[in-house]
Amino acid sequence: MITIFVDIALEIWKLTLEMAPYLLLGFLVAGLLSVVLPKDKVSRHLSGNSTASVSKAALIGMPLPLCSCGVIPVTAHLEKQGASRGSVLSFLISTPTSGIDSIFATYALLGPLLAIMRPIASIFGGIATGILENRLSTDDHNSPDVNQAVAEVDNRPLSEKLRSGIRYGFDDLVADTAKWLVIGLVLGGILSYILPATLAGTYLANPWFSYPLMLIVGIPIYVCTTGSIPIAASMIFNGMSPGAGFVFLFAGPASNTATLSFVAGKLGRKTTILYVLSIIVWSVFFGLLIDFIWNLSGQDIGLLGHHHELLPAWLKILSAVLMIGLIVRTWVPSSTTEISESNCELTVEDMNCEHCRKSISTALETIDGVREYAVDLETKRVSVAGTASPSEVAAVITKAGYTVSETEAVHSQEV
């Protein structure tokens, strides 16, 4: 029994060694992107019912480091500012299916073929779905707020902006992905150990079996873009076709039950059906394209990796240790800010990740009447002290794209 655990741990360690250098680089680039592409700038470019806005939504969304959880409030914010349904769908598909960090990590474990096809599929799938939605939709979804939206000028020194971006990449983004990255690595290690090559070669190599299976598993569950990589890698290297692995890499991060509920509630049943069908069509289409290229190349293993010799062993080990340290740090309980005289207590049910907590904190800082506040991610509670009324606080949080319990906002006010 001990031998089994040791062997599984070794498989997990191998996956960690291959991914860690590229993950660290991805977190750094993603953090810098958060400074270059702030939310207000993204909003201004995605407004309007046109093919141009749909294309911008996909191109801007593709590199952003947002999972299918973190993308929901951002998408809700865009929808409130008057972005067309097509732009909303384009952003909703292109953003969680790719990202700078996941592109580097995909290259680390799965080689250049899937690393290149992943952002291409993300952009193409988002644009095609957005254009189709705009053609089918009769709702002229434009808001006066679009023309009034003005980007806030960030006058901070360059050094402070860089520090802010690095903190976002290595603090907030690691905190958002740590749980799912660990789950993905552990499952990938277990699958690599227990999945017989004969079973994978017999069943998972058959696209008539593996493609539907990956869709059934991927669409309803939550798995982040990066966390899906080791799971797919373990199945691919045990015999499943790379195209079927791509179906999981696309469909898994693109949707989950929370995202489907959001689309249904905000955009309606017809748009939800189009959204799900688009995920199925584009994941299968690009999966088949990948398998075609793979077979055309004579199943050249170089397309799926074997480039890792370029990185020295010491760099992999150092990166893996640093990556583990960053993940472990996210598990250390942080001290919760206490407010002695809170006059406003709200519940934000759709606050699910560190990105959500940071977005709500940033929104609260824009209210003049807020003296101090505490945002508790675990209990989904927001406490505010100051002269701001509960309705003011609720309005600002709602504008940021989140749902506030109005009953608590009204009845929790105290003198």
Q: Give me the domains of the chain, ranges plus CATH numbers.
A: 2-324 (no CATH), 344-411 (3.30.70.100)
Q: Which residue has the tokens 């609260």?
A: 364
Tell me what pLDDT residue 155 has. 67
Instruction: Give the chain's residues under pLDDT 70.
Output: 26, 33-34, 37-49, 67-70, 72-74, 76-82, 138-156, 195-203, 222, 258, 305-311, 333-342, 354-355, 405-415
Sign of CA dihedral 85, 87, 88, 92: positive
Contacts of 110 (CB under 8 A, 6+ apart): 229, 232, 233, 236, 242, 245, 304, 305
Q: Which residue has the tokens 């995605």?
A: 46
Tell me what pLDDT residue 80 has. 59
Taking the whole predicted model, whether its pTM rises above 0.75 is answered as: no
d(CA 414, CA 331): 35
d(CA 130, CA 222): 23
Contacts of 308 (CB under 8 A, 6+ apart): 18, 108, 316
- Judge whether 400 and 360 are in contact, CB under 8 Å: yes
Tell me what pLDDT residue 340 has. 62
d(CA 170, CA 91): 24
Q: Which of 62, 28, 35 is nearest to 46 (CA)?
A: 62
Sign of CA dihedral 155, 60, 100, 74: positive
CB atoms within 10 A of CB 357: 21
Phi-psi region of 282 (alpha: psi -120 to 50; beta: other; left: phi over 0): alpha
In the chain, the N- to C-terminal Cα span, in Å, equals: 62
**Which tokens hold the place of 143?**
């808001």
- Judge whether 344 and 384 are in contact, CB under 8 Å: yes
What b/e readout covers 51-80, taking b as 16+ CB neighbours within 10 angstroms? eebbbbbbbbbbbbbbbbbbbbbbbbbbbb
Tell me what pLDDT residue 407 has. 43
Tell me what pLDDT residue 271 has. 87
